[in-house]
A = this chain, B = another copy of it.
Protein backbone atom coordinates (compact mmCIF):
# COMPACT_ATOMS: atom_id res chain seq x y z
CA UNK A 1 0.00 0.00 0.00
CA UNK A 2 1.78 3.11 -1.26
CA UNK A 3 0.27 6.37 -0.09
CA UNK A 4 -0.41 9.00 -2.74
CA UNK A 5 0.44 12.11 -0.75
CA UNK A 6 -0.15 14.48 -3.68
CA UNK A 7 -3.60 13.08 -4.37
CA UNK A 8 -4.59 13.20 -0.70
CA UNK A 9 -3.53 16.83 -0.40
CA UNK A 10 -5.21 17.91 -3.63
CA UNK A 11 -8.35 16.09 -2.54
CA UNK A 12 -8.46 18.25 0.58
CA UNK A 13 -7.86 21.44 -1.38
CA UNK A 14 -4.20 21.92 -0.60
CA UNK A 15 -1.83 23.14 -3.27
CA UNK A 16 1.33 21.30 -4.19
CA UNK A 17 4.16 23.75 -3.55
CA UNK A 18 7.88 23.08 -3.83
CA UNK A 19 8.11 23.09 -0.03
CA UNK A 20 5.33 20.54 0.31
CA UNK A 21 6.85 18.41 -2.44
CA UNK A 22 10.13 18.42 -0.55
CA UNK A 23 8.35 17.17 2.57
CA UNK A 24 6.63 14.50 0.49
CA UNK A 25 10.02 13.37 -0.83
CA UNK A 26 11.24 13.18 2.75
CA UNK A 27 8.24 11.08 3.73
CA UNK A 28 8.73 8.75 0.77
CA UNK A 29 12.13 7.78 2.12
CA UNK A 30 10.11 6.05 4.80
CA UNK A 31 11.41 7.47 8.07
CA UNK A 32 9.52 5.83 10.89
CA UNK A 33 9.39 8.66 13.38
CA UNK A 34 10.60 12.22 13.04
CA UNK A 35 10.28 15.70 14.49
CA UNK A 36 9.63 18.95 12.63
CA UNK A 37 13.28 19.78 13.15
CA UNK A 38 14.41 16.50 11.58
CA UNK A 39 12.43 17.34 8.45
CA UNK A 40 13.70 20.94 8.48
CA UNK A 41 17.36 19.95 8.66
CA UNK A 42 16.97 17.57 5.71
CA UNK A 43 14.84 19.83 3.51
CA UNK A 44 17.07 22.87 3.97
CA UNK A 45 19.59 21.07 1.77
CA UNK A 46 17.33 21.34 -1.27
CA UNK A 47 15.39 24.49 -0.29
CA UNK A 48 17.77 26.66 1.76
CA UNK A 49 15.22 29.47 2.20
CA UNK A 50 12.69 27.31 4.00
CA UNK A 51 12.01 28.03 7.67
CA UNK A 52 11.08 25.77 10.54
CA UNK A 53 7.68 27.45 10.79
CA UNK A 54 6.87 26.40 7.25
CA UNK A 55 7.77 22.84 8.10
CA UNK A 56 5.45 23.00 11.11
CA UNK A 57 2.64 24.35 8.95
CA UNK A 58 3.15 21.69 6.31
CA UNK A 59 3.32 18.85 8.83
CA UNK A 60 0.15 20.13 10.49
CA UNK A 61 -1.61 20.23 7.13
CA UNK A 62 -0.43 16.70 6.37
CA UNK A 63 -1.65 15.51 9.75
CA UNK A 64 -5.05 17.13 9.16
CA UNK A 65 -5.35 15.20 5.91
CA UNK A 66 -4.21 12.11 7.84
CA UNK A 67 -1.22 11.54 5.58
CA UNK A 68 0.76 11.36 8.78
CA UNK A 69 0.10 11.06 12.49
CA UNK A 70 1.44 13.05 15.41
CA UNK A 71 1.94 12.56 19.12
CA UNK A 72 3.68 14.43 21.95
CA UNK A 73 6.54 13.21 24.11
CA UNK A 74 8.41 15.30 26.67
CA UNK A 75 7.37 18.60 25.18
CA UNK A 76 8.12 17.85 21.54
CA UNK A 77 5.80 16.71 18.81
CA UNK A 78 6.71 13.57 16.93
CA UNK A 79 5.32 12.69 13.53
CA UNK A 80 5.06 9.31 11.86
CA UNK A 81 4.15 7.82 8.53
CA UNK A 82 2.01 5.10 10.05
CA UNK A 83 -1.53 6.36 10.55
CA UNK A 84 -3.18 3.09 11.55
CA UNK A 85 -3.58 2.41 15.27
CA UNK A 86 -0.45 0.98 16.89
CA UNK A 87 1.70 1.52 19.95
CA UNK A 88 4.86 3.62 19.87
CA UNK A 89 7.60 2.21 22.04
CA UNK A 90 10.40 4.56 23.03
CA UNK A 91 13.41 2.46 24.00
CA UNK A 92 15.19 3.76 27.07
CA UNK A 93 18.40 2.07 25.91
CA UNK A 94 18.81 3.22 22.28
CA UNK A 95 16.35 6.12 22.38
CA UNK A 96 14.61 5.05 19.19
CA UNK A 97 10.87 4.84 18.75
CA UNK A 98 9.60 1.61 17.26
CA UNK A 99 6.09 0.59 16.23
CA UNK A 100 4.31 -2.21 18.04
CA UNK A 101 1.23 -3.63 16.37
CA UNK A 102 -1.91 -3.94 18.42
CA UNK A 103 -5.33 -5.37 17.68
CA UNK A 104 -7.59 -2.33 17.34
CA UNK A 105 -10.84 -4.20 17.89
CA UNK A 106 -9.60 -5.89 21.04
CA UNK A 107 -8.23 -2.61 22.40
CA UNK A 108 -11.57 -0.88 21.81
CA UNK A 109 -13.31 -3.78 23.54
CA UNK A 110 -11.06 -3.28 26.56
CA UNK A 111 -11.98 0.39 26.71
CA UNK A 112 -15.68 -0.27 26.20
CA UNK A 113 -15.64 -2.74 29.09
CA UNK A 114 -15.40 0.22 31.45
CA UNK A 115 -16.87 3.23 29.68
CA UNK A 116 -19.46 3.99 27.06
CA UNK A 117 -17.64 7.06 25.76
CA UNK A 118 -16.92 7.57 22.08
CA UNK A 119 -13.31 6.64 21.39
CA UNK A 120 -12.22 8.38 18.21
CA UNK A 121 -8.45 8.67 18.20
CA UNK A 122 -6.23 6.47 20.31
CA UNK A 123 -2.61 7.22 21.10
CA UNK A 124 -0.71 4.43 22.79
CA UNK A 125 2.77 5.32 23.96
CA UNK A 126 5.07 3.01 25.85
CA UNK A 127 8.44 3.43 27.48
CA UNK A 128 10.54 0.31 27.77
CA UNK A 129 13.22 -1.68 25.99
CA UNK A 130 12.91 -2.52 22.30
CA UNK A 131 13.39 -6.14 21.17
CA UNK A 132 16.83 -5.41 19.66
CA UNK A 133 18.25 -3.85 22.83
CA UNK A 134 16.63 -6.55 24.93
CA UNK A 135 18.39 -9.21 22.86
CA UNK A 136 21.71 -7.40 23.16
CA UNK A 137 21.36 -7.08 26.93
CA UNK A 138 20.72 -10.80 27.19
CA UNK A 139 23.73 -11.49 24.98
CA UNK A 140 25.94 -9.28 27.18
CA UNK A 141 24.89 -10.89 30.41
CA UNK A 142 25.64 -14.31 28.93
CA UNK A 143 29.14 -13.43 27.71
CA UNK A 144 30.07 -11.46 30.84
CA UNK A 145 28.92 -13.83 33.51
CA UNK A 146 31.27 -16.70 34.34
CA UNK A 147 29.84 -20.01 33.28
CA UNK A 148 29.35 -22.32 36.24
CA UNK A 149 29.20 -26.09 35.57
Interface check A146, CB cutoff 8 A: no
- Are B111 and A87 in touch, CB under 8 angstroms? yes
Determine the chain B residues whose CB is within 8 A of the CB of A118 once the complex forms: 128-129, 134
Please report the total number of A residues contacting B with Cβ < 8 Å: 38
- Are B111 and A131 in touch, CB under 8 angstroms? no
Per-residue contact bits, chain A 55-95, to B (CB 8 Å; 1 contact, 0 not):
00000000000000000111101000000000101011000
- Are B100 and A129 in touch, CB under 8 angstroms? no
Determine the chain B residues whose CB is within 8 A of the CB of A119 once the complex forms: 89, 126, 128
Determine the chain B residues whose CB is within 8 A of the CB of A87 once the complex forms: 111
Interface check A26, CB cutoff 8 A: no
